[in-house]
Amino acid sequence: MPAGARRSLASPVVSGVLCQCGGGGAAAAATSTSAGPLTASGCGDNGDGGSPSLEHERRLQSLFLQLDVNRDGALCVHDLAVGLGRLGLHRSERDLWKIVKAGDKDLDGQLDFEEFVHYLQDHEKKLRLVFKSLDKKNDGRIDAQEIMQSLRDLGVKISEQQAEKILKSMDKNGTMTIDWNEWRDYHLLHPVENIPEIILYWKHSTIFDVGENLTVPDEFTVEERQTGMWWRHLVAGGGAGAVSRTCTAPLDRLKVLMQVHASRNNNMCIVGGFTQMIREGGTRSLWRGNGINVLKIAPESAIKFMAYEQIKRFIGTDQEVLRIHERLVAGSLAGAIAQSSIYPMEVLKTRMALRKTGQYLGMLDCAKNILAKEGMAAFYKGYVPNMLGIIPYAGIDLAVYETLKNTWLQRYAVNSADPGVFVLLACGTMSSTCGQLASYPLALVRTRMQAQASIEGAPEVTMRGLFKHILKTEGAFGLYRGLAPNFMKVIPAVSISYVVYENLKMTLGVQSR
């Protein structure tokens, strides 16, 4: 059966279970005929915003019975495949599983009538949000230019022909525009595949923690903001970062030691570095500096997120999602504000990682010693190279991640924007590695300046003077001391933070992939 015939067969059945109120904008309301959205309140209701009317419920029951192939009072994946196929709505098994998973409240692997109704209501709310986000002109219709613009705002570039192809798959009347009814009829009983889904699945800085919180903050969908899920994502990300940093702390401390102490005359290797740390302070010494490194996650993430949101408002864009260059500017400024706020903790982390056994009683004792002997200025040693390092790190990380994301979406995103675990981990690992590589010389100079003040009687060094000294005595290679353990921790850090993030999401009640 041709695709157009399948749609024309399905449309009356779909419209038959919907109320008569139209929706989706002025144009959609004006042109609404027999179809309208299935809403939690409105035309199909009893007037109090509660359950649908008896007539509307009979329509839903009729559709439910048509889909319930084996007549057992519940819809399984097989029922949906056969039932929707008879209506001309052919979905992949993966899509059908997503439908069941989204509506299955009692986790029995199938949908009873109540779960089916709730799924349709929740699904239509998502479709409304998506339709409104695409309808840039607010005229109740979506055209090819609006699809191209929405994707361009996210950094996804498609041609006009590709946008028209998307339109043709939903356009029933040949106008090359989609009204609310066409949009709803096409996507009913189909997992939402849209721009917000790209934002939902392709989170980056919230999920992955490699010890440096310099990445551009993630965007959140309208639904995530309205339901309050955004703060749960941030809490899950913070917890994942704490576990990830703790697990990779020995490699991070080794990196700091190599950045500060390694030279041509003292060629410290990885095995030798670990041996030296254990010999000097035992196994526990491998985690020196980790406590403050974990403690700074919460204030840094909170300040960064709030600053990012304020900067977005200051930019004054009317777009729901910032363009790539706007994200880079807003993210870099937010990162600078957050780093400025917690920078004394960065200095403490370096000093704690470099301390000898018995040198300090703890973090507070270390802070008191620095303040008493070196003054408040010591807490901002290395501040300038740290600020300068934000731009190459955030810029390269964002550019690489967006490029990899767009490549995958254009080549492989057929039924869903969900890339799967391994693609997401690979993209996160590659972008973080490239970002760190670009900013590493500045990070090394920052660490040496932070440590320099702890050497009694040592002359004050400037960023420029330190760069010259390293290049003169060690060559360009000297700017990359400690790079090996730094790269060694990227893959385990990304993997651990992802696993913990997903588990914390479920614990906090955020729907997982």
* Cα separation, 90 vs 224, whole angstroms: 29
DSSP string across 235-299: HHHHHHHHHHHHHTHHHHHHHHHHHHH--SSS---HHHHHHHHHHHH-GGGGGTTHHHHHHTHHH
The three-state secondary structure class of 55 is helix
Both structure tokens of 262: 């390694």
- Burial of residue 459 (CB within 10 Å: 0-12, 13-18, 19+) is exposed
Secondary structure element (H or E) that encloses residue 400, with its range: helix 383-412
Contacts 24+ apart (CB under 8 A), 149-156: 150/195, 151/195, 152/323, 153/319, 153/320, 153/321, 153/322, 153/323, 154/195, 154/198, 154/199, 154/321, 155/323, 155/324, 155/402, 155/405, 155/406, 156/198, 156/405, 156/406, 156/409, 156/410
How does pLDDT run across 234-268, given as a tens digit for each residue? 888 888 889 999 999 999 999 999 999 888 777 78
* Cα separation, 454 vs 497, whole angstroms: 33
CA distances from 7 to 14, 194, 511 (A): 10, 20, 31
How does pLDDT run across 392-418, given as a tens digit for each residue? 888 888 788 878 877 777 677 555 556
Helix 363-374 × helix 324-354 angle, to 10°: 90
User: What pLDDT does residue 396 have?
Assistant: 86
Running DSSP on this structure, what letter comes out for residue 206? T
The model's pTM: 0.60
The three-state secondary structure class of 304 is helix
Both structure tokens of 350: 């370096």
Contact 192, 126 (CB under 8 A): yes
* Cα separation, 7 vs 178, whole angstroms: 14
Both structure tokens of 501: 């993030």
* Cα separation, 449 vs 508, whole angstroms: 41
CB atoms within 10 A of CB 502: 17
Tokens 């985690």, residue? 287
Secondary structure element (H or E) that encloses residue 178, with its range: strand 178-179
From first to last of its 513 residues, the chain has per-residue pLDDT tens of 444 433 433 444 444 444 434 443 333 332 333 333 333 333 444 434 444 467 767 777 888 888 888 889 899 988 888 888 777 666 777 778 878 887 888 888 899 988 888 888 777 777 777 777 777 788 888 888 887 777 666 555 666 776 777 777 677 777 888 888 777 766 666 554 445 555 555 555 555 555 666 565 666 665 666 667 777 878 888 888 899 999 999 999 999 999 998 887 777 888 989 999 999 999 999 999 999 999 998 888 888 888 887 887 787 654 555 667 777 888 888 889 989 999 999 999 999 999 988 888 889 999 999 999 888 989 999 999 999 998 888 888 878 887 887 777 767 755 555 677 788 788 888 888 898 898 999 999 999 999 886 555 556 788 999 999 999 999 999 999 999 999 899 888 888 888 888 888 888 876 544
Compute the C-alpha angle 67/73/79, nearest 5°. Answer: 35
Helix, strand, coil % in the chain, rounded to nearest 5: 65, 0, 30
Q: Find how far residue 80's CA is from the centre of its chain.
A: 31
* Cα separation, 277 vs 269, whole angstroms: 12
Residues facing residue 178 across a β-bridge: 142
